[in-house]
Structure 1
């Protein structure tokens, strides 16, 4: 198994991609700290995963949360080997509709929290002789949709942080990588798209320009990639930003007739 004898903290792991990563990690031999804001949901996921999982409830809008979450992980398992910065807010906002509250909330959860979670884990990684961080980004980091302005900015910042910290801590055997995830069919995405006006079942009627393979990603497929980057199978690869999409994000010029 890829993650035997590994302790992971996965933020935002009570639903969607984070939950899929946690479940796949346990299947690959890891012990996992489940994190979320909904205690009932966190308890349910951890309970379903059995002895390999614990849970912690914390709101990443709280500046104290990163230290608390990492401390809870170490208290539960005795150490922390890997951190998955998955939790994120995806609030829609364009330049015209964004306000200070939206901006500050997205920056706090999507950018501030990941940095301070890494900061909190760093002393533990050093004592153990290394560690692994996987930041869950978005292809929107490369530009993004107009109504995802603030979200895209935070993911662009996360990408810069990944590269900066990877270079800064490589000699300590701390690997920090990022996967920029493309369009994925989470529970939240299905609901949001219907709220935005798409009909029920929209995920089965996607234009080839957006889904050349006739569908978008499932969370479990993203989880399979995440587990690889967290494992020793990724070797010493560090500072990588891997785009997880059905087409190249840079330089693509799709057929206008399709």
Structure 2
């Protein structure tokens, strides 16, 4: 019986990963700011014995460690860690102030780094584990108004390959899934602030993405579930692009 830990899990693709894991009868530990939302997900999926929700502010390093400890306490082990949560501020290199820089680096890079630090120790002890980072097509150089976001995603790829190179001897795997333009709740909320509707967003995306449409939250799921499974036991250090052919 696998235990999957998700940094995130209440929204977007993270939520779909959670549902897919429960369908596989995996144990799932997930987190978010909204306790009621977490409880509602557990109740709606009737997974009180198989799911654990931890209320978590990703700026709180102590609480990140508690998330790890409570997951181990409930399930005894962590077989896979999915790093999904992140923020995408609209900010160019010329416009980024210190507050924005700190926010995106704390949530997108510092929080994952320290959670991985705790989980990796337990995986090394068990001589088994799969870590899956969610990346972005912005990782290579990014759009002009996503400078700090692009930097964090590029650095997460470096962290993924670092783990793959140095911890393969402990049978710990690490892979990086590049997720393309996806109509998640967060993306729709961000665009709504810019006065862009979901319909107009999809129309715009269809003219940019080579395969003709935005991703749905379900599109990355098969790749993630494969990397969680034992079928990918010899897959590490990989970069998988689920982008519809988009390269920013």
Query: What TM-score results when the alignment is normalised by the length of structure 1?
Result: 0.90
Q: 2:159: which partner in 1?
A: 161
Contact 1:206 1:215 survives alignment (8 Å) = no
Structure 1 residue 26 corresponds to structure 2 residue 6: no
Aligned to 1:253: none
- Counterpart pick for 1:41 among 34, 37, 41: 37
- Compute the RMSD of aligned alpha carbons: 1.6
After superposition, what is the alpha-carbon deviation per residue over 1:88-123, rounded to whole angstroms, capped at 9, x for unaligned?
111211122211111111111111111111110122
Q: Distance in 2 between matches of 1:146 and 1:123?
A: 37
Alpha carbons 2:163, 2:174 under 8 Å: kept:
yes
Distance 1:163 1:143 in 2: 18
Specify the alignment match of 1:152 in structure 2: 150
Q: Does 1:10 align with 2:1?
A: no
Shift of 1:186: 0.5
What corresponds to 1:210 in structure 2?
A: 208
Query: Deviations 1:14-69 (Å, cap 9, x if unpaired)?
Result: 11111111111111221101211111111111222313211111111112233111
How far residue 235 of structure 1 moved from its aligned partner, in angstroms, is 2.7
The Cα of 1:211 is off from its aligned counterpart by 3.0
Offset, 1:6: 0.5
Is the 8 Å Cα contact of residues 61 and 108 (structure 1) preserved in structure 2? yes
Spell out structure 1 runs of 4+ moving beyond 6 A: none
* C-alpha distance in 2 between matches for 1:92 and 1:57: 26
Number of residue pairs the alignment of both structures matches: 246
Q: Match for residue 255 of structure 1?
A: none
The SS at the match of 1:92 is coil
In 1, the alpha carbon distance for the partners of 2:50 and 2:200 equals: 37
Pairwise CA distance, 1:200: 4.7
CA distance in 2, matches of 1:187, 1:207: 16
**CA distance in 1 between partners of 2:99 and 2:205 (Å):** 35
The separation in 2 between residues aligned to 1:202 and 1:28, in whole angstroms, is: 36
Deviations 1:208-244 (A, max 9, x none): 4423343211112212221111111123111111111
Q: Is the 8 A contact 2:209 2:246 kept in 1?
A: no
- Where does the alignment leave 5 or more consecutive residues of structure 1 unmatched? 251-258
Match of 1:184 in 2: 182
- Mapped contact 1:66–1:120 kept (Cα < 8 A): no
Out of 224, 228, 231, which is 1:230 matched to? Answer: 228
Q: After TM superposition, give the deviation of residue 249 of structure 1 in Å.
A: 2.6
In structure 1, what is the equivalent of residue 88 of structure 2? Answer: 90
Are the counterparts in 1 of residues 164 and 172 from structure 2 also a CA contact under 8 Å?
yes
Q: Measure the CA separation in 2 of the matches of 1:15 and 1:52.
A: 19
Equivalent residues of 1:34, 1:46 under 8 A apart: no
